[in-house]
Amino acid sequence: MEDLSQDRPRPRLDADSDRYWSAAASGILLLQRCAACETPRFYPRLLCPACHSDEHRWEAATGRGSVYSFSVVHRAPSPALQAETPYVVALVDLDDGVRMFASIWSPPDAIRIGSRVSVAFRRLGDELALPGFELDQTGAPS
C-alpha cells in the first residue's frame, strides 16, 4: 500500500463507520446491505434509505466499477494539497450497486466517463487507509 500525504482532512471514525475504516485499513472495501430489503448502501449509516430498516449486514465489495463523472482539481482546498495538483476526484458506480466518491489514482488524461476502474488503497498514517480507484489495464468504457 502506498502512502498518502498526511496533510489532508482525515476521516473521523464513528459508530456508523468504524467497521468500514478498520476493513479499509486491511485493504478490504466493506459495504452495508439492508437485511430487510437487500438494498446495498453507501455511505454506512443506521437506517436503510430505501426501506428504513435498521437491520443490515456487512459484505466485501467486488471493488470494480465504472466512472460516472470526474473532475481534475487544479486549485486545491489547502496549500498542502496544492502540491499534489492536478489530481482527480470522481464518482464511481460500483458493480455492487452503490456510488462512491473517491480519488482515481491514474493519469487524468486517460480517464473517461464509463472507464472501468478497480479499488486500491493508500495508507493515511498508521491506523487508516483510504479506498480509491485505479484505471483497469485497458481503461476502456464497458
Partner 1 sequence: MSLRNAVAITGVGSSRIGVVHDRTGLGLAAEAAKNAVADAGISWDEIDGLLTAYSMSERYFMLGSVMCEYLGITPKFAASMVVGGASPGVMVNHAAMAIASGECSTVLIVIGENRRTGLTTDEAVAALTTVGHPNFENPYGPTLPALYGLVARRHMYEFGTTPEQLASVAVNTRYHASLNPSAQMRELITVEDVLESRYIADPLHLLDCCLISDAAGAIIVTRAERADDMATPPVFVRGIAEHHTHEHVSMATDLVRSGAEVSSRAAYAMAGVSPAEFDLALLYDCFTVVPLIEMEDLGLVGRGEAGAFFQDGHAKLGGRLPVNTHGGMLSHAHAGASGGLFDIIEACSQLRGDCGERQVRDAELAVVHVEGGVLSSHCTLVLANSR
Shortest distance in whole angstroms from residue 26 CB to partner 1: 18
Q: Does 15 bind partner 1 (CB under 8 A)?
A: no
Instruction: List binders of partner 1 among 92-131 (CB under 8 A).
Output: 99-103, 108, 113, 124, 130
Distance CA 124, CA 66 (A): 25
Shortest distance in whole angstroms from residue 96 CB to partner 1: 15
Using CB under 8 A, which of 1, 6, 11, 59 touches partner 1? 11
Enumerate residues 6+ apart whose C-beta is below 8 A from 37: 48, 50, 51, 53
- For residues 90 and 96, the answer to whether their CB atoms sit within 8 Å is no
Residue 95 identity (one-letter amino acid): D
- For residues 58 and 34, the answer to whether their CB atoms sit within 8 Å is no
Using CB under 8 A, which of 12, 15, 137, 138 touches partner 1? 12
Q: Does 71 bind partner 1 (CB under 8 A)?
A: yes
Distance CA 85, CA 66 (A): 23
Which range of residues in 29-37, 57-65, 69-77 is near partner 1 by CB under 8 A?
69-77
Using CB under 8 A, which of 74, 126, 137, 138 touches partner 1? 74
Report CA 122 to chain centroid distance, whole Å.
Answer: 11
Distance CA 31, CA 101 (A): 14
- Per CB under 8 A, residues contacting partner 1 are 8-12, 14, 17, 42-43, 68-79, 81, 84, 86-87, 89-91, 99-103, 108, 113, 124, 130, 132
